[in-house]
Amino acid sequence: MSEYLSPNLGIELRKVSALGLAHVGDAVFELMVRTWLCCSGVSTAKALHGGAVTFASAKAQASAFQKIKPHLTEQELDVYKRGRNAQVNNVPRNASHNDYHAATGFETLFGHLYLSGRIERLDELFELVIADSEKQDDE
């Protein structure tokens, strides 16, 4: 295994823990957000950081899940639930218990899709997440 930025690494995703998938999914989602911000013309470090934090918080990811939920397949919902129900030891003070678990499920789904090589599906779901933000930018 040497192409770590190439998805579909040939691993059995059932053997990867939900929190392992969430760990990867968190990075994938944040990279997508950062890329989108840069491509949208955000140029200052402060604005880039602020935008990334806005989308990557537990509350924002829980909200993002609600946007994509109607568009998920049964298998994708199962992956989300696997992550949402994972045993976590610490919930940050700035996040509710429910938001944190929903965000973990969201990240698990993104990690699973990435490691499965389903980049087009990731792009589709990400477009749904940012759809309202793009409309606000146009106004």
Active site residues: 26
Task: Annotate 35-91 with DSSP letters as a single string.
Answer: HHHHHTT--SHHHHHHHHHHHHSHHHHHHHHHHHGGG--HHHHHHHHHHHTS--S--
Of 14, 129, 20, 16, nearest in space to 72 by CA: 129
The answer to whether 74 touches 48, Cβ cutoff 8 Å, is no
